[in-house]
Structure 1
Amino acid sequence: MAQITADNHRLRLVVRYTVLALIALIFVFPLVFMIMSSFKPDQQLLQDTKSFAAFLPVGDISLDNYFDAFRRAPVGLFVLNSVIVTGVTVALSLLVCSLAGFAFVFIDWRGRELVLTAILATLIVPFETIAIPLLLIASKLPWIGPEGLTLGWLNSYQVQIIPFVADGLTIFLFVQYFKDLPGELIEAARVEGASWGQVYRRVVMPLAGPVLATAAILKFLAMYNQYLWPLMVVQEETYRPVMVGLQYFFQLNRAWGEIMAYLSLITVPVLAFYLFLQRAFIASIASTGVKG
């Protein structure tokens, strides 16, 4: 009987991991196709799409598409711009939105429910409806930089960062997570004489690893994939991000191999960030030990 039970358990594990492996392959196939295609000339790339050879390193394999991509556009500059804009925005967003979530959940002040409702209402407002007014405001705002006081934020990093530091979704994530934390921890810290700043730094944020990782991943993807807003506010090549840089490869002669090489290069920061956050997410769950 024990042997039959063990065999059934082993069979269930085999079936489970087989299904998970098949699901993983479905998500991996587009990445494999993109990477394999980036090493092939256009004619072979299009020919291989008719068979499974599209996923294999067969035929005329070379790095020519990567060299041609760097000759066609400043790929490194575009990736650097996106990493700077995305990294700074994610860091500021986690700070500002976590402070807002902390204030909404733990600090009793008049009108907080009304303010939170107004913030959550912004989730149903499409960005396209506020893009033009936001553009007009950004073109008139002052800024103090290395050149001194200037008017207008166009063609800069701050115009791509500051409008997206705070958003309703990220604040909502922190509010919902903080509500599930044990209230006894906060009360005990306050009884011991801790200020609200100390409660935020030493009690709440050390327990917020899961929501920090979740919010960071969502914000990273949203910012790294920005296209419409940078296209509107950045006309100089110096500040263009990767998604706007993609249009370089659809001008004049379209080269699919170069496009695949460019997509492969700009995907590297996304994968690196995701893997880093995944490890941090798992570590935070293992170390927290707090359940709502």
Structure 2
Amino acid sequence: MAVISSDNRGLRLAVRYAVLILIALIFVFPLVFMVMSSLKPSQQLLQDSANLRAFLPVGDISLNNYFAAFQRAPVATFVFNSVLVTGVTVLFSLLVCSAAGFAFVFVKWKGRETLLAILLATLILPFETIAIPMLLMVAHLPWLGVDGLTWGWLNSYRVQIIPFIADGLTVFLFVQYFKDLPGELIEAARVEGASWGQIYRKIVMPLSGPILATAAILKFLVMYNQYLWPLMVTQEEGYRPVMVGLQYFFQLNVAWGEVMAYLSLITVPVLAFYLYLQRAFIASIASTGVKG
């Protein structure tokens, strides 16, 4: 009976791994297709897309599409702009939204429930409904920089960063996570004379690794994939992100090999960020806990 039970467990484990491998392959296939297609001439790419050759490095393989992509558009500039805007926005968003969530959950003040309800109500507003009012506002806002006082934020990094630092969804995620933290820790810290700032830095945030990783991933995807707002507020190539740069490859003659090469290049930061946060998420899950 023990042998039969062991065999059954081994069979179930094998089936489970087979299903997981199949699911992984389904998610990997688009990436493999993209990379393989970026190495082929456009005509061969279209011919191979009808069969399994699309996923194999066969035929006329070269890096010509990558060289052509850099010649058609300032790819390095677009990638740098997206990484800079996304990275700065994610960093400040985690700081501001976590502090707001902390204030909504742990600090008692008049009107917090009403303000939280108003904040959550903004989630139902599509961005397209406020895009034009935001554009008119940022076009006349003052800014004090190295060149002195100037008017208007168009064609700048700040116009792509500042309006998106705080958002209702990220604040809501922190509020829900903070509500599940042990309230006894906060009460004990207050009895010991700790300030709200000390509680936030030394108690709450060290326990918030999972929600920080989750919020960072969601914010990264939103900011890195932005198209409409950067298209509206940037007219200079020096400030445009990767999604706006994609339209350069659909002007005049469309070379699908160059399109795939460009998509492969702009996917690298996404994969790198995801792998980094995955490790950070696993490490935070392993280290998060309350020690007595």
TM range (shorter): over 0.9
Runs of 4+ off more than 4 Å: none
Partner Cα distance (2:235, 2:142) in 1: 19
Partner Cα distance (1:49, 1:141) in 2: 49
In the other structure, the counterpart of 2:105 is 105
Q: Do structure 1's residue 255 and structure 2's residue 255 form an aligned pair? A: yes
- Which letter does structure 1 place at the counterpart of 2:12? R
Q: Percent identity?
A: 80
In the other structure, the counterpart of 1:131 is 131
The number of equivalent residue pairs is: 290
Partner Cα distance (2:112, 2:137) in 1: 27
Residue-by-residue CA offset, 1:71-126 (whole Å, 9 max, x unaligned): 00010000000000000000000000000000000000001000000000000000
In the other structure, the counterpart of 1:188 is 188
- Which letter does structure 1 place at the counterpart of 2:171? I
In the other structure, the counterpart of 1:222 is 222
In the other structure, the counterpart of 2:17 is 17
- Which letter does structure 1 place at the counterpart of 2:266? I
In the other structure, the counterpart of 1:206 is 206
Partner Cα distance (1:77, 1:178) in 2: 39
In the other structure, the counterpart of 1:94 is 94
Residue-by-residue CA offset, 1:42-96 (whole Å, 9 max, x unaligned): 0100000111000000000000000000000010000000000000000000000
1:148 Cα deviation from its structure 2 partner:
1.5
- Which letter does structure 2 place at the counterpart of 1:125? L
Residue-by-residue CA offset, 1:145-186 (whole Å, 9 max, x unaligned): 222111000000000000000001000000000000000111
In the other structure, the counterpart of 2:270 is 270
In the other structure, the counterpart of 2:81 is 81
SS across alignment from 1:144: strand
In the other structure, the counterpart of 1:56 is 56
Partner Cα distance (1:234, 1:146) in 2: 20
SS across alignment from 2:144: strand
1:3 Cα deviation from its structure 2 partner:
1.2
> Could you tell which deviates more after superposition, 142-151 or 49-58?
142-151
1:4 Cα deviation from its structure 2 partner:
1.1
In the other structure, the counterpart of 1:242 is 242
In the other structure, the counterpart of 2:40 is 40
